Amino acid sequence: MHELAFVIAGFVVGAIVGFTGVGGGSLMTPILIFVFGVKPYLAVGTDLLFAAFTKLGGTIKLARAKVIDWPIVLNLSAGSIPASLITLYVLHSADAASQPVQKFMTTALGLALLLTAAATLYKVLHGKVTPTSIAQGQEQLAARPRHWSLPLLFGAVIGTLVTLTSVGAGAIGVTVLMILYPMLPLPRIVAADIAYAVPLTLVAGFGHATLGGVDWAMLACLLAGSLPGIWVGSHLLTKTPERLVRSLLSVLLAYAGTKLLAL
């Protein structure tokens, strides 16, 4: 029975991700903890690889469409990958399955969900002011950050957050990119965020696997549901009020974050 429940959970989260672009981690990790009673370190590790494999297909599609700004991806990765490796080393040294570390991860996850809720609401309120295209000859300027150090700094923060909680590479990442690259159209921001999340979640996910923090059978069930779910969600995109769904999601994420902080 649990296997079918995991498949259904994967389908629901995949459909929401395909429809809204909100990161699967901000939805799947709380579901695994609250609904299925999975330990936080197992939920985080499994969800990191769940996110990596689901976003890999999207990255390939976006790369073929030539809408990914790879310098942006590389700049963010230069900050996030080393930060992820350092975080994994700390988790290894502190024993990720121990009670104090579990409590710390739960608190960090609660804070990350509150940040994601705020970022999702920000996108609802400011989505219409984002540029829809780049003026000819302005491509390089649009892909240039406000300052060269900011992608490294924010990348390091997101890398640490994602490795600890599996949350942050979705709504938070998109919001950061909107701030750092104000001239970049939203579709290219989303494309860069999806592509950037793949190497980060792969490194963090396999790092958690070396710590015994991945349930491979559960991961297979989640992926079996999420792949068709993403396809369904992407086809619902033009038939449902996305801003309403994002607003409801922000409330749901804020509620889950508050519950986790209270544990």
Tokens describing residue 74:
């590389």
pTM of the predicted structure, to 2 decimals: 0.83
Distance separating alpha carbons of residues 253 and 251, to the nearest angstrom: 6
Burial of 53 (0-12, 13-18, 19+ CB in 10 A): middle
Strand (E) positions, 34-127? none
pLDDT tens for 117-131 read 887 777 667 655 555
- Are 186 and 127 spatial neighbours (Cβ–Cβ below 8 Å)? yes
Residue 173 has pLDDT above 60, yes or no: yes
Percent of the chain at pLDDT above 70? 83
Q: How far is CA 212 from CA 47, 91, 168, 196, in A?
A: 13, 12, 22, 25
Distance separating alpha carbons of residues 85 and 133, to the nearest angstrom: 36
pLDDT tens for 14-44 read 887 776 656 666 788 888 988 899 988 899 9
The pLDDT of residue 182: 80
pLDDT tens for 96-125 read 778 888 888 888 888 888 887 887 777 667
Polymer length in residues for the chain:
263
Q: What sign has the CA pseudo-torsion 41, 191, 114, 176? A: positive
pLDDT tens for 197-242 read 899 999 999 999 998 989 999 999 999 998 888 777 766 655 556 5
